Amino acid sequence: MAEAKKSAKQGRQSLVATLAALDQRLSNRLYLSCQGVPRWTYKLLEYGGDGVVWVLVTFTALFLPSTPAASRLAWANLLLGLLLDLVLVGTLKGLFQRTRPVYNHKADFIVVVAVDHFSFPSGHSARASFVAVFVLACLAQLPGWLRLIALAWAVTTALSRAAMGRHYLGDVLAGLLVGVLNVAILTRVRVGVRYGWMMGVEKGALGLLHKVVGMSC
C-alpha cells in the first residue's frame, strides 16, 4: 500500500516536472522569436495592465464629483474586482512561489510587494482578463467594436508577458483563468451605491447594474 502511494506520488511529480519543462521550452521559444519587437511596446502594455494604475484610475473616477451616479455604480464594482484581483494573485504567488524566467530583464522590472518576485500566476494577465470579461459580460450597452478592442487588448497584454520574458506561458494561462474566476465571484457579490457613495455589499448577480447602466450580468 505504501509502495503504491509512493509510486503514485512520484508519477504526479514526474508529470508536473514534464509539464513545467515543456512550459519553459515553449516560453523560451516565444521570447526568442519576439526579440525584434521594440521593448517600449511591451512596456506600454505593461503599464496598461498595472494594478496600481488601474486601482488609482478607478478610485479617482469613482469619487470624482462629476461622475454620474449610474456610472459610479459600475466603477465601484470594477474597483471591487480589481482589489479582489490583487488578493487572488498575491495569494497564489505566495503559495506557488515559482521563480520568474532567468532571461527576465530585471533592470526595468519594478517590484511593488514581495510576491511580485514570483511568476505564477501572471498578475497583468489576470487583470487584463478580468477587465475584458467585465466589459464583455457586464457592459451590454457598449458598442461591439469597443468590446472587441477590450478582448484584443487582454489577449495581447497576456501574450506580451511571456514574449518580453516576464512570465512563462503557463503563468499567463493561469492568470487569464484567474481573471474569469474574478468576474464569476463579482457577479455573486456586488457593491451597492446610494447617493453616490459606497454603502455596503449586496448579494446578487448585478441585477441593479443591468437596470442602471445596461449590465447584463
Catalytic residue among 105, 117, 167, 210: 167
Burial class (CB in 10 A: 0-12, 13-18, 19+), 45: buried
Catalytic residue among 105, 117, 124, 210: 124
Assess whether the previous peptide bond of 121 is cis (omega < 30° from 0).
yes
Q: Where are the alpha helices (DSSP H) in 34-166?
A: 39-48, 51-63, 69-96, 123-138, 144-163
Verify whether residue 124 is a known catalytic residue: yes
Verify whether residue 167 is a known catalytic residue: yes
Question: Which of 199, 188, 182, 180 lies closest to 73 in space, CA to CA?
Answer: 199
- β-sheet bridge partners, residue 163: none
Q: How many CB atoms lie within 10 A of CB 13?
A: 10
Catalytic residues: 124, 167
